[in-house]
A and B are shown apart, each in its own frame.
Chain A
Amino acid sequence: MLVVHGAWVDGRLGVWAEDTARGAVPASRAALRPHPFAAPATTLAEALRGSGTDGPGSTGAPAGPVAGAEERELTIRLPGSAGGPLPSPESGLASRARSPRILTWRVPALLLPPAGALHLLGALTGPDTDVGVGVNAETGRGCSWPNADDEAYGNTGGPEWGPGLSLRYLSVVAEHARSLVRRGRVLPGLVVEKGVPAARWRPVLTGADRAALRAVAAAMPPVCRAVPEERPSKEVLTEALNGLVDGVVRLSLPGRLIAGRWPGLGAPLPDRWLYALTGEDAALPAGRPAEVAALGDALDGWSASAHQLDGPVRACFQLIEPVRDGGPWRVEFGLAPTPGHPSLTSVPGQASPAPGADRSPPAPAAGCPSASVVADYLPAGRIRAGQRAPWLPERPMEILRTDLARAVRLHPGLHSALRDPEPTGLSVETAWAFSFLRNGAPALRAAGYGVLLPAWTGRQGLGLKLTTRAVTGGEDLGLDDRVNVRLDVVVGDHTITPAELAGLAGLGIPLIQVQGRWVELDDRQLKAALAVVERHGGGDRTVGEVIREVVEGGDEELPLITVDADGLLGDLLSGEADRRLTPVRVPRDLRGTLRPYQERGLSWLSFLSGLGLGGVLADDMGLGKTVSTLSLLLSERESGRPGPTLLVCPMSLVGNWQKEAARFAPSLRVHVHHGGTRKRDDELASAVRGADLVVTTYGTVLRDLGALAALEWERVVCDEAQAIKNSATLQSRAVRSIPARTRLALTGTPVENHLSDLWSIMEFCNPGLLGSAVRFRRRHQEPIEFRRDEGATAALRRATGPFVLRRLKTDRSIISDLPEKLEMKVWCTLTPEQAELYESVVNDMLHRIDGFHGIERRGNVMATMTRLKQICNHPAHLLKDGSRLAGRSGKLARLEELAAEIVEEGDKALIFTQYTEFGSLLQPYLAALLDRPVLWLHGGLSKSRREELVERFQRDEEPMLFLLSLKAAGTGLNLTAAGHVIHVDRWWNPAVEDQATDRAFRIGQTKNVQVRKFICLDTLEERIDEMIEGKKSLAERVVGTGEDWIAGLSTERLRELLRLGPLAVS
């Protein structure tokens, strides 16, 4: 497999690759040595040519990223020794040099022009990319490495490849380039390239963008700046960003900027320059020097003026309410330090905001704006009176006036202030104030000015209040039952009568005072309010209609801001239904105990299901979503014979569901519909009719959609429902298209990246209830994600609250329900490749074992045990061939999911393995997959290095994952920062495992610790686990010494212990 690395070389993306199949062979002794395991450029081109993705940003790119690429040999500085360079961690190759030094190597490379570079880098964007990148059909997660189903990375006929972290780093740079271009933070310029003038688009980096790119430069992997020698990261980043920004604009603007004939060499330079800003050829040969100088000066001055807005001090505008009734509004000017400016980075509390974030100072807290909440804000009046601050420049009033003159371009109403040579503010009419609120303030804020508005701005407006009252006692509730409904127009908690409303309309001004509070009120809102009052009034409505009305949240101009409902409907709409509903009895057939919060969850699930409504059970991982779901199935079978439930889950969880159902709900009839031998046609229909729970996978649903959709289902459940977070994917559409009376989504992360994830999951649960994706984006997603709009957030909470139950393990009430240490077994299945290897090793051993005796027999049995455990971990662990990891191991798939969920929750985990070689494979793989550092502590590290890792894990926010060798780290260490412990493989010695677990679960631990032990179903792992669990005393007697006792078993017992059962393979 190829591990592809990237650097920016001569205005192009230079890619080169390590070929893991070539391995770390000895290097030549030549003075400038070829990299001994770098892939030939032709092989690399062949691999990348196969990745003809339609990744983000690839719009308009020619077919494949290597179109127009140049083959070139690069010199690169890499750490290593005379024996060869150190391999990258992603390669999985063993490192040889003990004291590496920096040496120069030659590598074959491809130089991709910007279009190809953007195409390639766009396909690598983020772990959340769903388009074109390796998205695992079973998990829905993006993969950074190829797996069996990937077309993005090399399973299209060419050699397999995966991106090194350097290439992924450059993909982040490309994301910034795209973001800058989308926001218009670019300007065209005239540059000189190899002595020839050229038209190029350049980024304008100010404020938050400047700070973000500074962080990007600081984090650059050294390998990115090692061609042809050690270079400054800032210089490399500038070149890369310039090239990518220019490329993005050219791809975004394929047409000409002006109509008419193509200007020849004799045409005026500005004419030729404009044409050269689009298309592929940016060069402007034969330009007359005077013309080049004049155009260059004009454009440079333009660019400089854009950067002048980015000084250490910025102008601020503060809108102040009238102090007396009928008095004027006032806009006060002032100065404040620019947040995140490099000259101010030492000032406490002035953290750099995220790129694209609102750079304005926080809004004042109370009704009257107060400058005190903005650090160091100084009104112009006080500056003019002589007040000074350490950050204030000389001649501050000149700076203010210059900034004000620029601001006039965005809000012309400010122009009159310029009549004053030292302006401090303006007294304005109410209509002016409204115009400033609606138009001026957002534009000024977006341009980087400080804007202070009254606290009520954007929050306080006309809205609707929905009141419902149950017609009957309300013991039972159905969607078709009727309730009394009343709609009122309100401001805050004040109800406005129709007469008052008519009076307000008569005033004809857009800012009014209601009960002493200012309210923004434009014509559209007034008309909507009048229409609503006329249209609705009171009356009866069905429960279903009321729910829909609440979810819709009123009109855009007139949002629903308050709901007052009684009875069961009130319980549901309160968003606290689990606490308010009458508890459902714990089912008799449940083999286990539900914790109090699980009982409340069962009541909520039963209530929604009874109404025929879908829900999202979004409890934190480890809180028991599986047992809650099984309890629901048992509970409804106590009062009737409902149809079967279809449960769709990632392949890695099929075994777990089987095992958990057998453990907690043995009375449920479970059928697994998965794998090559699954039932079809009539046999499938018959099996489903005879089942309570049918477990299948997302992949199988896609393949068997017709057959599954034709059957009758009581319920469809999606486990790890983030797999359907992208509503447009085939698997999302497939599960949505299966008819069922009700639906349930299980996920610990209902919103992984964007709010659209939640829309997609809700669309599965309650189709159509949240409205179209477009409406959801406009109504909720954009206001919340872009502006952090509190009103939109409250509206979304109100709309989804009844259907989403989410409890965090950090909730006070949950903590008290949970044990301090929660131990769980995680049941994993083998992939067909693992199963084949497993059977082969078992058969080989059993075939030969009778011929061995004594030490020889013992040695053979133990060696077989080790091999089988390695296979259960991963085929590459046994084969040691440097082959790819993704998609070949059930355990690894489960580990990927768990690690991603833990990181998503912001928690930390210890991951134990007894095999150093497996840890060495996992560490770079997980780091690349999750885009996060992963620590790896093993016996090969010095004491000081181990202490350093432990301290880093305990002290820093990252890394969140710590891989540890069971032998090297099983005792002595204090790792209480972790809330999760995962034993990927088993030592079969409870004492040893407990000691390792106690690295996290010990004095100083303040969280509940979740401990997971991975076990491969129907393999030796499960059987040994059963023996330990079932015969504790025997286990204590024989297992105390580890695994040696197994070697003493008879051949027949061995056969039984090691055999591969039918449940083992996924």
Chain B
Amino acid sequence: MNQPELIEQLQQGDESAFKKLVDEWQDMVYNTALGIVQNADDADDITQEVFIQAYQSISSFKGESKISTWLYRITVSKSLDHEKRKKRKKRFGFVQSLFGSREEEQLHPAEFDHPGVQLEKKERAGELFGALKQIPDKQRIAFTLHKLEGQSYQEIAEIMNISLYAVESLMSRAKTNLRKVLSGYYNNNDKIPEQ
């Protein structure tokens, strides 16, 4: 089934078309959300939200971009919204703790372990994901789409709705900022020998 047919069937409310949509793009959506929010349960939650929104708004999808581009956009938007909600919840953590909720303790895991990273690179990758949290959102999104999803700069430009030059600039700044954050981290790390 090609893309226009799938879109047409989805717009007609075809259940099997929706199943196909989920089966084909669930890992892409989950992996992108996981890279941004760095929490498996949150990424799973966002993945569900993305497909629900896709189901509800398929009627307004014109088919001008690829389905994957459209899903990436929804995923990035939902992931950033999710992070904002979590930050707000953290601010009201004291109030929540009065009711016995301990959710605030899970907001920022000390170290994120992406399941796709090779075993010998786990430690460095954990430090990189920690540094990613400290750079601006747009740089983080561009870096995540390029490195974790293997998207080209052109595809990232379409997803983020910006120019190719802007993506190149974002990637360059992301790498510079990551180098700064990581250098600072390693400088303050006692395990590094002085020599």
A and B from one complex: no
Interface residues of B (CB under 8 A from A): none
Interface residues of A (CB under 8 A from B): none
